[in-house]
Amino acid sequence: KLLSNVDGLLNVEVSTERLSLAIGIEEAVSPMTRLALRVAVSFPGGVELCVRCRRGDQHLLFPIIVSDEISLPALLYGTTLPLAAFFLLREFVVRPYAQRCAAEESRLRLTILESELVKKRKENEAFVQLMTETSQNSIATERRCRGLVVLNAWYGRLVSSTDDTEEATGDHSGTIVDVTIALQCLVKDSRLILYDTDKSSLPGFYDPAPQQSKRLRVRYEFRDHLHEVTVAEAEPLQLPKESHRLQ
């Protein structure tokens, strides 16, 4: 291993009719593409330069006869100059091209992800509108018995312990979703239980921050007292609890 993603190659062949020494380098240009440069010195045979490009199952081979006999100029032209050309090509052509391809692929993935998030956000908004009446009926029922009323609930990339309203309207608003109505619809007989499951799969939820850690924060009222709790993505939640009480 010579450099990052670069392998050194050495091959010696000895027979009664021929002596051959080959050295070379090979680099992974991308996960699917490898570029190799090989110089072979044979007696008899001379000096041969070989450039190979492999992409998946496809192989491109370019053999070049530098000299029919072994000589110092042939060795110089067959080793030093090709190696210099290889590294120059690597630094100023191949690597920038690979970086541009990686950046383009990253932008494409981001565009697809943003499109999916917009779609999920619209679906969630439609669901919330449908469940608004159910949520209002649940609130009315719970208030009559001084039961469990969800005042605010936020799910997503909650990065601080400050007021969720500030986070939802700040720099992280795109990674937080209001799930107040969704949670109120899950309240049954003044109780709410969420098991240790992926919360983004719950009705009225979606994943606003893929591949990032998320939390659920709930502020609720029970027996005329204010409560608040924050749980991690896979952490179960049970309401109400005395330990959640703020006053």
Q: What is the pLDDT of residues 77-136, one digit of tens each?
A: 667 777 777 778 777 877 787 788 888 888 998 888 888 888 888 888 888 889 999 999
Average pLDDT in the 176-205 region?
91
Parallel/antiparallel/unpaired status of strands 192-194 and 176-178: unpaired
pLDDT value, residue 54:
82
pLDDT value, residue 97:
79
User: What confidence category does residue 211 fall into, taking pLDDT thresholds of 50, 70 and 90?
Assistant: confident
Average pLDDT in the 202-223 region?
91
pTM: 0.59
Specify the amino acid at residue 237. Answer: L
Alpha carbon distance 32, 141 (integer Å): 61
Alpha carbon distance 153, 230 (integer Å): 10
pLDDT reading at 61 higher than 70: yes
User: What confidence category does residue 212 fall into, taking pLDDT thresholds of 50, 70 and 90?
Assistant: confident
What percent of the chain stands above pLDDT 70?
85
Q: What is the pLDDT of residues 14-54, one digit of tens each?
A: 666 677 777 777 777 677 778 787 877 877 777 877 778 88
Parallel/antiparallel/unpaired status of strands 6-14 and 149-156: unpaired
> Higher model confidence: residue 69 or residue 230?
230
Average pLDDT in the 64-69 region?
75
Least confident of 136-145, 159-168, 185-194, 196-205: 159-168
DSSP string, the chain: --BTTEEEEEEEEE-SS-EEEEEEEEEEEETTEEEEEEEEEEETTEEEEEEEEEETTEEEEEEEEEESS--HHHHHHHHHHHHHHHHHHIIIIIHHHHHHHHHHHHHHHHHHHHHHHHHHHHHHHHHHHHHHHHHHHHHHHHHHTT--EEEEEEEE---SSS-HHHHHTSTTGGGEEE-HHHHHTT-BTTBEEE-SS-GGGSTT---SSTTS--EEEEEEEETTEEEEEEEETT--EEE--GGGB--
